Amino acid sequence: MEYTAEVMDHFSNPRNVGTIEDASGIGTVGNAQCGDIMKIYLKIENDTVEDAKFKTFGCGAAVATSSIATELIIGKTIAEALQITNKKVMDALGGLPSTKVHCSLLAEEALHAAFWDYAQKNDLTIEGVKPPQEHEH
Ligand code: FES
């Protein structure tokens, strides 16, 4: 399978690249196998994702999935944002080649890690958010 036009668009022109100075939560995850790293920054106010930025040192699919994941969660409540799974991210991109599915998992994990960080900083429990896992390969 080839990359869809959406994947190419988000890869060539990624949205929301950067950092957030006073982020409410930051999630960093890596894939030990390919060595790619993704970092997501969230600004959360009134239980809503006001802003999201990312930095991805990784393959084109990882860049494209982090780009669209940030687009999908901005303006959503935390509960809604947690519904954005790697499958939803892939659907929004019109699919990914099967060898690239793990790249979209990185986006879901980075998001969860950022919400976990936010919860830790604010002494909250967010349903469905688990501590980031270390990946051993
Ligand atoms: Fe590593 Fe895509 S090959 S995230």
Q: State the catalytic residues.
A: 34, 103
Mean pLDDT of the chain: 94
Residue with the bigger pLDDT between 94 and 2: it is: 94
Handedness of CA 27, 31, 37, 38 (dihedral sign): negative
Question: Mind listing the pLDDT tens digit for each residue in 95-116?
Answer: 999 999 999 999 999 999 999 9
Task: Report yes or no: 94 and 4 within 8 Å, Cβ to Cβ.
Answer: yes
pLDDT at res. 2: 85
- Ligand 1 centre and the CA of 122: distance in Å? 32
Question: Mind listing the pLDDT tens digit for each residue in 40-57?
Answer: 999 999 999 999 999 999
pLDDT at res. 135: 55
Given ligand 1 and candidates 7, 36, 66, 135, which is best to mutate, with the most ligand atoms within 8 Å of its CB? 36
Q: Which residues line ligand 1 (CB under 6 A)?
A: 31, 34, 36, 58-59, 61-62, 100, 103, 106
pLDDT over 70 (residue 36): yes
From atom 2 of ligand 1, which residue's Cα is the shortest distance away? 103
Task: Report yes or no: 51 and 73 within 8 Å, Cβ to Cβ.
Answer: no
* 134 confidence band (pLDDT: 50, 70, 90): low
Query: What pTM, to 2 d.p., does this model score?
Result: 0.93
Task: Report yes or no: 39 and 25 within 8 Å, Cβ to Cβ.
Answer: no
Residue 33 token pair? 């196998």
Q: Which of 32-36, 77-81, 119-123, 131-135 has the lowest mean pLDDT?
A: 131-135
pLDDT over 70 (residue 19): yes
pLDDT at res. 6: 97
- Ligand 1 centre and the CA of 23: distance in Å? 25
DSSP characters for the chain? Answer: -PPPHHHHHHHHS-SSBS--TT-SEEEEEE-TTT--EEEEEEEEETTEEEEEEEEEES-HHHHHHHHHHHHHHTT-BHHHHTT--HHHHHHHTT---GGGHHHHHHHHHHHHHHHHHHHHHTT---TT--PPPPP--
